[in-house]
């Protein structure tokens, strides 16, 4: 019996190994961007999503967990995650954006409309990249794999002559 207990303890200790922290990008709020830009000018990548969007969740659990994507975002972009249905006001670039209800329990945030509208509509997931002057330099409203997002980030940086580090 004692041998069985010792064997159990050895197996239990041997089978548990620490879970490595999953890489993820540093997430900033719009209200922080002005002060961050005063320290270091960077492009801003905004991920526009909702809680109910399965493709948004897939991007969160795959694309934004990819080590190369995380490194590129953390080193050369300010990453902002925008829930298109959040109800809190957001102050950004000298303006306050509000949630606009559109029916019983539904609505969309003005900033999601401002940044995520392509061809007259907002779709999820959405990616919007702003330059340090807050001008939209890229927008896309579909799922992006890690590899595709890395290509987008590199092209944006190429236009501004900065290599992905």
What is the reported pLDDT for 20? Answer: 44
pLDDT in tens, 4-23: 444 343 444 444 444 445 68
pLDDT along the chain (165 residues), means of 10: 44 42 86 95 97 96 96 97 97 95 90 96 96 96 97 93 58
Q: What is the pLDDT of residue 60?
A: 96
Largest CA distance in the chain: 72
Round the average pLDDT of the chain to a whole number and report it: 87
Distance CA 86, CA 1 (A): 58
CA 151 vs CA 2, 81, 83, 122, 164: distances in Å: 59, 20, 24, 23, 10
Number of helical H runs and strand E runs in the chain: 6, 11
Write down all domains in the chain, each with its CATH number in brackets. 23-159 (3.40.30.10)
pLDDT of residue 165: 54
């Amino acid at each position: 019996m004692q041998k069985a207990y010792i064997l159990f303890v050895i197996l239990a200790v041997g089978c548990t190994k620490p879970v490595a922290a999953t890489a993820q990008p540093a997430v900033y709020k719009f209200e922080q961007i002005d002060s961050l830009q005063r320290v270091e000018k960077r492009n801003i990548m905004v991920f526009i999503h909702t809680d109910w969007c399965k493709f948004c969740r897939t991007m969160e659990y795959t694309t934004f967990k990819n080590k190369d994507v995380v490194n590129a975002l953390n080193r050369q972009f300010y990453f902002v995650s925008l829930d298109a249905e959040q109800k809190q006001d957001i102050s950004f670039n000298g303006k306050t954006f509000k949630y606009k209800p559109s029916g019983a329990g539904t609505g969309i945030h003005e900033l999601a409309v401002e940044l995520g509208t392509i061809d007259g509509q907002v779709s999820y997931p959405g990616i919007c990249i702003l330059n340090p002057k807050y001008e939209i330099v890229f927008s896309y409203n579909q799922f992006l794999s890690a590899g595709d997002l890395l290509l987008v980030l590199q092209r944006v940086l190429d236009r501004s002559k900065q290599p992905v580090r």
